[in-house]
Amino acid sequence: MNAPERATGDLSRALDALSRPAVRWSRRKRLAALGMVLLAVLVAVAVWQAVTKAPNADSTALVGRTGQLAPTFSLPSLADPSHDLSLATFRGRPLVINFWASWCVPCRTEMPLLETAFRSERRKVAFLGIDANDTSSAARAFLAQVHVTYPAVSDASGTVATKYGLYGLPTTVFISPAGKVIGRHIGELHTGTLHAALREAFGA
C-alpha cells in the first residue's frame, strides 16, 4: 500500500470516528481534527509524488531528442562583427550551442564550466555561444568577465533563439556532425549534468 492509499484510509477512519454518536466532540474540535487529517493526506500525497518523480540513475541530461536537422543560421561574431559564423561552419564536427545573455544570472555561473569543457574537448567537440536578445557591447563585456574564449555570436533580435524553440535562458543544444539535433538541456548546466550531456550526445 503506497502513501496516498494509507493516508486515504486514515481519513476514512477519522471521518467514521467523528460520525459516531458515542463520540461527543464539539463542532470546533471536529473541524480541527478533520483539518489535521486532510493536512496529513496532502503531505503524504506530496511526499509520494516527490519520491516517484525524483531523478534516478536512469534519468538523462538531455531532452528534445528530435533527430531533426538543426535550424540554419548565420550571425556576426562578437569578436569580429565583420565576420559571420554559421551552422555550416561547424559541419562535420559535434557541436554544443549555448544560448545565453549578459543579463542572464545562471549564465554567469554556467559559462566558465562550458569554457573548461571547451578547453578539454576542443579536439573532439566544437562549442559556440549565441548571445540572444542582448546588445553586442554588453555581451562582449560579459564574455571578458567570465573569461570565455570559444566562439560567440550575436543574435540581437532573438530570431535564431526563436527558430530553436527556446523558452528561456540558458539553453544548450547538442548537434551531431551531420547537423541534426541530438538533444538539449534547458536551464543552468552544472559540472555533473554537463559531463553527462556530453557523454549522452557524443560519448565524450
* Assigned domain for 63 exists: no
User: pLDDT value at position 55?
Assistant: 39
Residues 188 and 100 in one domain: yes
How far is it, in rounded angstroms, from Cα 176 to Cα 25? 69
In the prediction, which pLDDT does 22 show?
A: 42
> 68 in a domain, yes or no?
no
Q: Is residue 64 part of a domain?
A: no
> Is there a single domain that holds both residue 136 and residue 91?
yes
**Judgement on whether residues 105 and 10 belong to the same structural domain of the protein:** no
Provide the domain count of the chain.
Answer: 2
Give 16-33 pLDDT, tens digit per residue: 554 555 445 466 666 665
Residue 34 has a pLDDT of 59
**What pLDDT was estimated at residue 1?**
58
The reply to whether 58 falls in a domain is: no
The stretches in the chain having pLDDT less than 50 are: 3-4, 7, 11, 14-15, 18, 22-23, 25, 37, 41-58
| CB-based contact 148:115 (threshold 8 Å) | yes
CA distances 55 to 33, 49, 110, 164, 172, Å, are 35, 12, 21, 26, 20
Residue tagged 525524483 (cell numbers): 54
Predicted confidence at residue 122, as pLDDT, reads 87
Task: Give me the pLDDT at residue 5, please.
Answer: 53
pLDDT tens per residue across span 168-201:
999 999 999 999 999 999 999 999 999 999 999 9
One domain for residues 87 and 172: yes
Average model confidence (pLDDT) across the chain: 83
Residue span of the structural domain in which 115 resides: 74-202
Q: What is the pLDDT of residue 162?
A: 97
